[in-house]
Amino acid sequence: MTVIRFWIAVALVAPCASVAQDTESSEDDAAREFGGPTSVAGQLQEDADAQGRLGALNQHSDSLRNWRDTFESDTGLKLGWDLNTLAQFADSSLTGEDTAWGGIARIYGRWAVVNRDEPGTGFLSFKVEYRSALGGFVDPQSFYKELGYLGLTDIIYSDRKAILTDFNYQKRLGRNDRAAVVVGRFDPNAFQDVLAYSNPYTGFTNANIVSNFSVALPDYSWGVAAGTWLGETNQWYISGNINDANGNPGNVEFFEDGAEFYKSIEVGWSPKRARRYHSTAHVMFWHVDARETKGIPSGKGVAMSAAHTFSDDTWMVFGRYGQSDGRAPFFNQSVTLGFAHMFEPTTDRLAFALQWGEPSDNSLRNQLTTELLYRFQLSDSLQMTSSIQYIKDPANNPVEDSLVVWSIRIRYAL
């Protein structure tokens, strides 16, 4: 009932939430978003931009895509859905369990409920998922336990079954839609310290590379995020969020473990709004309260990231650094470096990254992770990604000095 009352309140105040708008021409629609590639808006945009190598395969999905586009034009509701599967194979493990396999089905959408096709649009976003282990194997998100790895060889393929991940209201604000606020249930990591490569559904698999684990990363939770571009050039921005520090995909209750919060504030620069995750530099400060029920102490830290895209957007180099205090995050220091190459006219991708981490538990050894991947965009809807992870000195493995994990991932999206 608490959730229902919350959304009734949002529906009542949404039409009144607009501030004065400037109707002068603005950049493309994607430039007005603060959510990254894993947000509902970001995933819908990435799906729309996909270009496959085998055009003949598109005929099976073109009619559904056309229906979806017509439905959006008529109603303002943009829908997407996908089927995903990931299998991972390790060259050794602590338990003898050397294979992980999981699947995810998702339905997600974004409904323009206020000021549709005008400045100051208000959107309701949702994402419903079903995540499951497959074939009697351990799910990939839990595979790290079998390997003695500090981190996750995959971040999303769990065995949580049916879950509500996103359910939020986003409102564009200010002149030329230069600001936005998000209220509701969302993944804070879709709105903080984001770079263009960080979508585990279509890019790297390893969580230590996808995210910065020197941050005590929260998961899907209730909260508020906001951001705005600064000055006349729209090259500098400031953003921040506050979320339930105990949030997780399987729990939709409001602050079930009390008022324990994760907070962050970020300042960044990009040469152009539409390039904010492709060519950028930003710094983020964060703090998380102690979580008494779970026995997790408080923590704080700083994270810095940068990326540059060149050669007509076909090459990107990126880097991340994080430093933190306390035992809440996995690492007190973390460094990530890498590159990605996008092939044209398809959206095939080659990418490589390495991450070095100093564990927050000083009894553990430092750990190095690398991942090399190639993504085949077979059609506009179907992609297959193969990757190999090499892990040097897995921090929780007293037996092996190195591990190799192979992955194969298939995604079908409309």
Q: How confident is the model at residue 327 (pLDDT cuts 50, 70, 90)?
A: confident
pLDDT score recorded for residue 117 = 86
- The distance between the two most distant Cα atoms of the chain, rounded to a whole number of Å, is 64
5 pLDDT higher than 90: no
Query: Which has the higher per-residue pLDDT, 293 or 226?
Result: 226
In sequence order, the 6+-apart residues with CB closer than 8 A to the CB of 339 are: 315, 316, 317, 318, 351, 352, 353
pLDDT digits 0-9 by tens, 376-405 = 999 999 999 999 999 999 999 999 999 999
Instruction: State percent of the chain over pLDDT 70.
Output: 92
Distance CA 401, CA 18 (A): 57
Instruction: State percent of the chain over pLDDT 90.
Output: 72
pLDDT digits 0-9 by tens, 171-222 = 999 888 999 999 999 999 999 999 999 899 999 999 999 999 999 988 899 9
Q: How confident is the model at residue 293 (pLDDT cuts 50, 70, 90)?
A: confident
Q: How confident is the model at residue 326 (pLDDT cuts 50, 70, 90)?
A: confident
242 pLDDT higher than 60: yes
pLDDT score recorded for residue 25 = 37
Query: Which has the higher per-residue pLDDT, 217 or 136?
Result: 136
pLDDT score recorded for residue 6 = 35
Q: How confident is the model at residue 28 (pLDDT cuts 50, 70, 90)?
A: low
Residue range 351-378: mean pLDDT, rounded: 96
Query: Which has the higher per-residue pLDDT, 138 or 16?
Result: 138
Distance CA 256, CA 314 (A): 45
Give me the CATH code for the 2-413 domain, please.
2.40.160.10
308 pLDDT higher than 90: yes
pLDDT score recorded for residue 54 = 81
1 pLDDT higher than 60: no
23 pLDDT higher than 50: no
pTM over 0.75: yes
Token representation of residue 262 = 């994760």
Query: Which has the higher per-residue pLDDT, 150 or 346?
Result: 150
pLDDT score recorded for residue 27 = 45
Amino acid (1-letter code) at residue 86: L
pLDDT digits 0-9 by tens, 118-129 = 889 999 999 999
pLDDT digits 0-9 by tens, 252-266 = 888 888 889 999 999
pLDDT score recorded for residue 21 = 35
Mean pLDDT rounded to a whole number for the chain: 89
Write out the chain in H/E/C secondary structure. Answer: CHHHHHHHHHHHHHHHCCCCCCCCCCCCHHHHCCCCCCCHHHHHHHHHHCCCCCHHHHHHHHHHHHHHHHHHHHHCEEEEEEEEEEEEEECCCCCCCCEEEEEEEEEEEEEEEECCCCCCCEEEEEEEEEEEECCCCECHHHHHHHHCCCCCCCCCCCCCEEEEEEEEEEEEECHHHCEEEEEEEECHHHCCCCCCCCCCCCCCCCHHHHCCCCCCCCCCEEEEEEEEEECCCCCEEEEEEEEECCCECCECCCCCCCCCEEEEEEEEECCCHHHCCCCEEEEEEEEECCECCCCECCEEEEEEEEEEEECCCCEEEEEEEEEEECCCCCEEEEEEEEEEEECCCCCCEEEEEEEEEEECCCCCCCEEEEEEEEEEECCCCEEEEEEEEEEECCCCCCCCCEEEEEEEEEEEEC
The sign one gets for the Cα dihedral 39, 42, 47, 52 is negative
- In the chain, where are the structural domains located? 2-413
**Residue whose token pair is 């996808």:** 210
pLDDT score recorded for residue 256 = 82
- φ and ψ at 333, to 5 degrees? -140, 140
Residue range 88-105: mean pLDDT, rounded: 97
Distance CA 112, CA 72 (A): 9
Token representation of residue 231 = 């000055």
Distance CA 193, CA 47 (A): 22
Q: How confident is the model at residue 31 (pLDDT cuts 50, 70, 90)?
A: low
